[in-house]
Amino acid sequence: MSIDLKTVKHISKLARISIDDEKANKLKGDLNNIFEFIEKLNELNTDNVQALTSIAETTLRFRKDEIKSENIREKILKNSPEENKDFFVVPKVVE
């Protein structure tokens, strides 16, 4: 199978990365090369194989639901690109 330009643009939309036509064409070539390489997996019959979902064979631990850090508003807002005193600021969402 091969990935066409329309698909590349669709994926870029899903990934929220804007790309121009030149970049999209370059990516189309790269992705097709990479997927050609990935297709090798189809040589294997995996009908009766269980998917490996976690390499660490443990179950997730439970912990008490308690507040451990307080008054961290300032720390959280410290790196925001645009802020006012209490909030992250983004372009207007509701018209």
Partner 1 sequence: MSDITSQSLFELTSNIKEKKLSSEEITKAFINRAEKSKKLNVYVTNNFEKAIDQSKKFDSNPNLDFKLPGIPIAVKDLFCTNGVRTTAGSKILNNFVPTYESTVTQNLWSQGAILLGKLNCDEFAMGSSNETSFFGNVQNPVGENLVPGGSSGGSSAAVAANLTPVTIGTDTGGSIRQPASFTGTVGLKPTYGSCSRYGIVAFASSLDQAGPMTKNVRDCSMLLEVISSFDQKDSTSIDYKRNYYSKELSKDIKGKKIGIPKEYRVDNMPDEIEQLWKNGISYAKDCGAEIIDISLPHTNYALPTYYIVAPAEASSNLARYDGVKYGFRSPGQNLIEMYEKTRSEGFGDEVKRRIMIGTYVLSSGYYDAYYLKAQKVRQLIKKDFDDAFSKVDAILTPSTPSSAFKIGEKTNDPVSMYLNDIFTVPINLAGLPGISIPAGKDKNNYPLGLQVIGKPFDEQNILNISYALEDKINFKNDISDWWLSE
**Which tokens hold the place of 44?**
């294997």
Q: In this structure, how many other beta carbons lie within 10 angstroms of the beta carbon of residue 8?
A: 22
DSSP 79: T
State the nearest-atom distance from the C-beta of 95 to partner 1, in Å. Answer: 10
Tell the smallest beta-carbon distance from residue 70 to partner 1 (Å): 14
The radius of gyration computed from the CA coordinates of the chain, to the nearest angstrom, equals 23
Query: Cβ of residue 2: shortest distance to partner 1, in angstroms?
Result: 13
Coil, helix or strand at residue 52 = coil
Interacting residues with partner 1 (CB under 8 A): 3, 7-8, 11-12, 14-19, 27, 30-31, 33-34, 37-42, 44, 46, 49-56, 58, 60-61, 63, 72, 75-76, 78-82, 88, 90-93
